[in-house]
Structures are given as C-alpha cells and as structure tokens.
Amino acid sequence: MTQKPPHKVALVGLGKIAKDQHVPSITKSAAFEVGAIVSRSATGQDVPVYETLDAMLTGEPDIKVVSLCVPPQVRFDMARQALSHKRDVLLEKPPGASVAEVHALERLARENGCVLYATWHSRHAMGVAGAKAWLASRKPVSARITWREDVRHWHPGQAWIWEAGGLGVFDPGINALSIMTEILPAPVHVSSADLTFPENRDTPIAAAIRFSGADGLTVDADFDWRQTGTQTWEIEVVTDQGTILLSGGGATVTIEGKEVSSDEALASEYDGIYAHFADLLASRTSDVDLTPLVHVADAFMLGKRLQTEAFFD
C-alpha cells in the first residue's frame, strides 16, 4: 500500500513552545512536515516564512493544516481566518481566551467542513491512560492537586501571561485540570476559589480551588507560580480501593506507595498530540473538549480576589 504524503503544516508563532515541542514532534512524525512558518522574527529557516497569516494563506494554497502557537489573546482571529479559508486548525492550550470564542470556532469549523483540534498536551503524559484505567473501576473519595512551579524559569519575559486573557497561574494549572478531567470517572465542578493577584498584574500568581462531585467527592487544587528549586506537579486520588499518585506532570504513576511507571515530564506529549491530530484529519473529525477551560472560567467567576505584593521578572 502506498503511504500517503505527509500533511504540510503552517506553524504560526515560533516562540519557546513551538521550538521546544511542536517542531521536534512534527519532525519525528511520518504524518506531518513543516511547510511554512508565520513569524515576524524567524530567520534562517528551510521553509517559507511569512510575516502575517493572511500572506501565508494567500501564498500557500496547498497547505491545508495550520498549527496556532500564539498567545490565546490573539488566537481567535487567526483561527477564524484560517477556518474561513477552509484550513484545518490545531489550537495550542488553552484553546482560547474565553469559552464563547472557542464555541464560535467550533461552529465555523463545522460549517466549513474543517477539522478543529483543541489540544491538551498533558493528557498525553505517559501515566495518564493507565491512571484513567485504574480509576475506572474504583470510587474516588477525595483528590489533591499540587501544581507549583517557578514562572521566571518557565515563562521568562512573557508579558502576555500577566495580561487579561493570559490566565496567569492557570496557564500551567490548566494542564493539571486537563489530566483531572481525563482520569476521574465522574465530573466535578468548582465550588469555591481564592485567587491571589500581584498588585501590578491582571492575572493571578496563585490559586486555591475546591471542586465538588457526586457522593461527597472533593478535589482541592493548589496552584502557585512562586516555587523555586524542585518543581511540583502532582495529582493524588484517594479511592475506596487504594490511592494513586501522578507526579512529574502525569509522567510517573505510584499506586499504594509503589511506583509502577516512570517517565520524564513533557516526554512524548506533543508526539501524542500530533498522532491524534493525524487520526482526526484521517476521519475528518474535530476534538474540542472545553471542560478544563470551563473550570478556569468558573474559578474566575466564583473566586475571591486576594492581593499580594507586586511581581517583577
């Protein structure tokens, strides 16, 4: 059987996440290759580089796939433009700056016969599928999420994360929520939240959230961007038949104190994204799960605003 040629991808935005994750995963994939880049600063590339998405859409009619790696505040207009040109679109997480705008994109994709994929890279961490299977036959009683990291290390000089729509500490925190909503066998909802804002920023630097579910299930989430030294990305679920711990951002699984699998954080997560995207393109099916973003929106709606000292990079 003759193998289909790879999909050419227009990579929009060539910042840290695109260079560190998207480009390597596309390069390794037999289903994709970078066909063009949209960036105002990219130089020395082996493919055509365009300063604007409009120029790329006009200049590259044979590129049918667009991967948007730009900040969420500007992603909607670009996604709408690409879908209006009947291009299939991959959205980096979070899929948008609001829930409503992603619903609008979903409608537009459906009207134009396009594939729209709202990605959650942490769901592809090596331990997530096994944890989901283990929990499927058990009843969760309580859960604890601890997601603490150093914003200066992971987002140096990225002003957009502190601006309205940039999510602040929820930019990494939503990764934890994407895992939680994938592995828990029943849904939960936000019941209360405390959001801590630096006095000079529009988005929170820390958040404490309580989730509630059926049969008295509670989940407590602790997000903080001020941790130095060892970073903490953990989800612990206590069930009627034991306790499971995902650490390293979902890479390592420990059951009843015994480590059953281990990997490195982010290892193969974007490989998983592009493998799933290839399947969606083959079946002409969209995947737009907004549950993690809904939890963030609810935390902002229900959250008490607390103020802390100014934060500077």
Sign of the dihedral through C-alpha 122, 126, 129, 132: negative
Least confident of 3-7, 11-15, 54-58, 221-225: 3-7
Active-site positions?
A: 93
The model's pLDDT over 157-173, given as tens digits with 9 standing for 90+, comes to 899 999 999 999 999 99
The model's pLDDT over 82-120, given as tens digits with 9 standing for 90+, comes to 999 999 999 999 999 999 999 999 999 999 999 999 999
The secondary structure element, H or E, covering residue 245 is: strand 242-247
The full set of domain ranges for the chain reads 7-118, 123-265+297-308
Tell me the pTM: 0.95
Structure tokens at 95: 């899929």
The model's pLDDT over 118-150, given as tens digits with 9 standing for 90+, comes to 999 999 999 999 999 999 999 999 999 999 999
Would you identify the CATH topology of the domain 123-265+297-308?
Answer: Dihydrodipicolinate Reductase; domain 2 (3.30.360)
The CATH homologous superfamily for domain 7-118 is NAD(P)-binding Rossmann-like Domain (3.40.50.720)
- Name the 3-class secondary structure at 103: helix
Measure the CA angle with vertex 29, ends 26 and 35; round to 5°: 45
Structure tokens at 228: 């130095």
**pLDDT of amino acid 45:** 85
Q: DSSP letters along 159-201, please?
A: GGGGSTTS-TTHHHHHHHHHHHHHH-SS-EEEEEEEEEEETT-
Q: How far apart are CA 180 and CA 197, in angstroms?
A: 24
User: Model confidence at 265, in pLDDT bands (50, 70, 90)?
Assistant: low
**pLDDT of amino acid 166:** 94
Same fold, 7-118 and 123-265+297-308: no
Q: How far apart are CA 227 and CA 230, in angstroms?
A: 8
